[in-house]
């Protein structure tokens, strides 16, 4: 039954107070706890008992080191008591004599250091295994993210986030476990000893001193963390500008922009310099304030001990022992500010990396998805719709069929959706409507890995790894032999060129293959795809970036390459697709014409107009 509304209109819903916005500090704390929860399993994995055993052994050595450490001042006191003739230490210790006690003091100090080193040695494998696993997971996740994510990210900034995140994990594993924990344990043991051996007033002074020290350190460090974050942002920005400029080295040269690039980089470094200076000045303030607080506490305790010695209540050895305890805790406390700051920074850096790990995969395999089984290589686009953004549709109900062994050419103006079809076929993205099927199997129902294995792509601009020609051709199939690599190179008509080089197949190609010409790079790319030997081939404007003569040479290799395969050719120059079994003319994401070259010319429509224009342009330039 429908509720009635008044003439004035529907009654407004009761006002629900919106939750208060989360403060920056609360966000950081939540992020820090999330980071610690994510790191903890690497220290205590359920499936790796050897890690747990090593962590327990390391903690055992840590405890031994601290017990020896707090016991060492007692040996020092005994040595002083023997030398001053005051028998206030245990008889068994005094019976060792001054020399024996001094040797025992040296052994105790050496044992303290030895247990600490054993702790580090035992834990090293745990830390490195955790770093390796985390770095691998991050690397794999980045490769699993969609093309959309990668084209919107800056590579330099991304690599910096990973680098700082892994270093942050390393720092956190070592310092949280072996700096903060041991410091708390040592302070607790020292406080108990001062209260039991001396007087509760010594413990009160120690607690007040440490309380003031920690409060001052954390307050100033919080301020310094904000400066450090600014410095990190400037560092990332400068690094990104440097990498971007170097990757575009030729463009910089073309436009004589060396000074302009240097000014951009220097501007970013100027911001980094300002933040770094603030960091240094604030560090000096922090160190001085810490020194004042800890020195004041040390002086008060020493004055109390001196009064006790003068009153005959304490021995000279007691005075020395109190001094030894205070100095012993001063050393780790001096690093508290640095450790706290670095831990805070490590949590920030790791937070950025875990944010990266939490980026969702846009294209995911269905649970239990089978591998794509290609029998003939028939490709069907059925009412395919796609948009990169909801408000802007790219493909609007596209339908066509590529039969096994045939060639379909996609032509049309820029922005018509040609390259988008190639990205959807390779499953860089999933369609937003309709379906793409290979031999009757919807691409969304099979694994991405199997789709990638069955489709070979020759792009417009072949990008090569900064390695040898052998490595780049061999990348087409893992484990390919030298004979197979050479056979692929011969098929791509580049073997003779490679053989004539001084280093042959061991010739480095340079960053992105810049040591090779455009035609040479493209032939290496063709050889690489031939070695892969896929049943379905996608030629994405594979020759449009080449000169006419090189294009004609490479077209022969591409034609040979397509024999016996199902081929989709995305073309700008129509002269390269005249032999296609079917030519599809796209405009604004829709098919406006389709047919063979002769049929479309005879029709006198959109394709015929494009053909006549290109022929006229070629005649003018010839």
pLDDT given for residue 13 in this prediction: 43
DSSP code at position 395: E
pLDDT given for residue 15 in this prediction: 45
Report how far residue 320's alpha carbon sits from residue 93's, in angstroms, rounded to the nearest whole number. 17
Higher pLDDT residue, 326 or 480?
480
Residue 614 CA: distances (Å) to CA of 423, 556, 592, 608: 27, 21, 19, 10
* Degrees to nearest 5, angle at CA 398 with 607 and 422: 80
Kindly calculate the radius of gyration of the chain based on its CA atoms and give it in whole angstroms. 36
Q: Tens digit of pLDDT for each residue in 244-290?
A: 888 788 788 877 888 888 888 888 888 888 888 888 888 888 888 88
Within 10 A of 523 (CB to CB), how many other CB atoms are there? 26
pLDDT over 50 at 10, yes or no: no
Pairing of strands 536-540, 455-458: parallel
pLDDT over 80 at 593, yes or no: yes
Lowest mean pLDDT among 43-47, 60-64, 582-586: 43-47
Higher pLDDT residue, 11 or 57?
57
According to DSSP, the residues that pair with 570 across neighbouring strands are 410, 540
pLDDT given for residue 168 in this prediction: 72
Q: Tens digit of pLDDT for each residue in 165-205?
A: 777 777 776 666 666 667 777 778 878 888 887 888 888 88
Confidence band, pLDDT 50/70/90 cuts, at residue 85:
low
SS3 content of the chain, % helix, strand, coil (to 5): 65, 10, 25
Give the CA dihedral 599, 600, 602, 607, nearest 10 degrees.
-170
pLDDT given for residue 150 in this prediction: 57
Report how far residue 595's alpha carbon sits from residue 608's, in angstroms, rounded to the nearest whole number. 12
Q: With both helix axes pointing from N to C terminus, report the angle between 24-43 and 155-175 in degrees, rounded to the nearest 10.
A: 70
Collapsing DSSP states into helix, strand and coil, what is residue 466? coil
Which of 205-209, 215-219, 427-431, 580-584 is modeled with the greatest confidence? 580-584
Give the domains, in start order, of the chain with CATH numbers.
Answer: 39-357 (1.20.1560.10), 379-462+534-621 (3.40.50.300)
pLDDT over 90 at 585, yes or no: yes
Collapsing DSSP states into helix, strand and coil, what is residue 386? strand
Which of 109-113, 131-135, 179-183 is modeled with the greatest confidence? 109-113
Which of 21-30, 527-536, 552-561 is modeled with the greatest confidence? 527-536
Scanning the structure block, which residue is given the tokens 């970036």?
Answer: 545
The mean pLDDT of 330-345, rounded to a whole number, is: 70
Confidence band, pLDDT 50/70/90 cuts, at residue 32:
low
Confidence band, pLDDT 50/70/90 cuts, at residue 558:
confident
Collapsing DSSP states into helix, strand and coil, what is residue 173? helix
pLDDT given for residue 179 in this prediction: 67
Distance from the Cα of residue 304 to its chain's centroid: 55
Q: Considering the chain, what is the average pLDDT of its residues?
A: 80
CB distance 233 to 269 below 8 Å: no
Confidence band, pLDDT 50/70/90 cuts, at residue 9:
very low
The mean pLDDT of 384-388, rounded to a whole number, is: 89
pLDDT over 50 at 19, yes or no: no
Report how far residue 176's alpha carbon sits from residue 230's, in angstroms, rounded to the nearest whole number. 24
CB distance 306 to 312 below 8 Å: no
Give residues with Cβ within 8 angstroms of 223, minimum separation 6: 282
pLDDT given for residue 337 in this prediction: 63
Q: Tens digit of pLDDT for each residue in 220-246?
A: 887 877 787 788 788 888 888 888 888
Share of the chain above pLDDT 70, in %: 81
Higher pLDDT residue, 356 or 462?
462
The mean pLDDT of 458-482, rounded to a whole number, is: 87
Lowest mean pLDDT among 152-156, 340-344, 403-407, 436-440: 152-156
Collapsing DSSP states into helix, strand and coil, what is residue 503? coil
């Amino acid at each position: 039954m429908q509720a009635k509304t008044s003439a004035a209109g529907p009654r407004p819903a009761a006002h629900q107070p919106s939750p208060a916005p989360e403060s920056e500090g609360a966000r950081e704390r939540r992020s820090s706890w999330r980071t610690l929860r994510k790191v903890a399993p690497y220290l205590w994995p359920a499936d790796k008992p050897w890690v747990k055993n090593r962590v327990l052994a390391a903690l055992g050595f840590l405890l031994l080191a601290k017990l020896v450490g707090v016991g060492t001042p007692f040996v020092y006191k005994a040595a002083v008591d023997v030398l001053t003739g005051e028998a206030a230490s245990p008889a068994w210790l005094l019976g060792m004599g001054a020399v024996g006690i001094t040797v025992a003091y040296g052994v105790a100090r050496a044992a303290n250091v030895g247990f600490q080193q054993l702790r580090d040695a035992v834990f090293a494998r745990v830390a490195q295994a955790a770093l390796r696993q985390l770095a691998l997971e991050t690397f794999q996740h980045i490769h699993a993210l969609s093309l959309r994510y990668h084209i919107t990210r800056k590579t330099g900034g991304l690599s910096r986030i990973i680098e700082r995140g892994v270093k942050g994990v390393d720092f956190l594993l070592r310092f949280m476990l072996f700096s903060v924990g041991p410091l708390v344990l040592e302070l607790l043991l020292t406080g108990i000893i001062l209260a039991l051996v001396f007087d509760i007033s010594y413990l009160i002074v120690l607690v007040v001193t440490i309380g003031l020290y920690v409060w001052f350190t954390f307050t100033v460090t919080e301020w310094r963390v904000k400066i450090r974050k600014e410095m990190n942002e400037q560092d990332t920005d400068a690094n990104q500008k440097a990498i971007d400029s170097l990757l575009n080295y030729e463009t910089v040269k073309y436009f004589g922009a060396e000074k302009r690039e240097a000014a951009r980089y220097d501007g970013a470094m100027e911001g980094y310099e300002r933040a770094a200076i603030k960091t240094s000045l604030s560090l000096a303030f922090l160190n001085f304030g810490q020194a004042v607080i800890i020195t004041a506490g040390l002086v008060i305790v020493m004055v109390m001990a001196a009064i006790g010695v003068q009153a005959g209540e304490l021995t000279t050895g007691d005075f020395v022992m109190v001094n030894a305890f205070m100095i012993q805790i001063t050393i780790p406390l001096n690093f508290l500010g640095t450790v706290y700051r670095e831990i805070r920074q490590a949590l920030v850096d790791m937070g950025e990396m875990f944010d990266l790990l939490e980026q969702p995969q846009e294209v995911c395999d269905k649970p239990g998805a089978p591998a794509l089984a290609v029998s003939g290589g028939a490709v069907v686009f059925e009412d395919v719709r796609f948009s990169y953004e909801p408000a802007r549709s790219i493909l609007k109900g596209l339908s066509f069929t590529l039969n096994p062994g045939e060639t379909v050419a996609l032509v049309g103006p820029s922005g018509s959706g040609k390259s988008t079809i190639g990205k959807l076929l390779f499953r860089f993205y999933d369609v937003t409507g309709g379906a793409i099927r290979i031999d009757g199997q919807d691409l969304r129902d099979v694994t991405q890995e199997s789709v990638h294995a069955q489709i070979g792509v020759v792009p417009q601009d072949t990008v090569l790894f900064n390695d040898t020609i052998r490595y780049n051709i061999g990348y087409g199939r893992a484990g390919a032999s030298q004979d197979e690599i050479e056979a692929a190179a011969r098929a791509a008509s580049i073997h003779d060129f490679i053989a004539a080089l001084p280093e042959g197949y061991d010739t480095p190609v340079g960053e992105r293959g810049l040591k090779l010409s455009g035609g040479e790079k493209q032939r290496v790319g063709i050889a690489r795809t031939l070695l892969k030997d896929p049943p379905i081939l996608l030629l994405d404007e594979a020759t449009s970036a080449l000169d006419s003569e090189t294009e004609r040479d490479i077209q022969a290799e591409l034609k040979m390459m397509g024999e016996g395969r199902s081929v989709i050719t995305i073309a700008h120059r129509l002269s390269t697709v005249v032999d296609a079994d079917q030519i599809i003319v796209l405009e604004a994401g829709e098919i406006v014409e389709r047919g063979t070259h002769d049929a479309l010319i005879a029709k006198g429509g959109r394709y015929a107009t494009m053909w006549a224009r290109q022929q006229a342009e070629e005649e003018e330039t010839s």
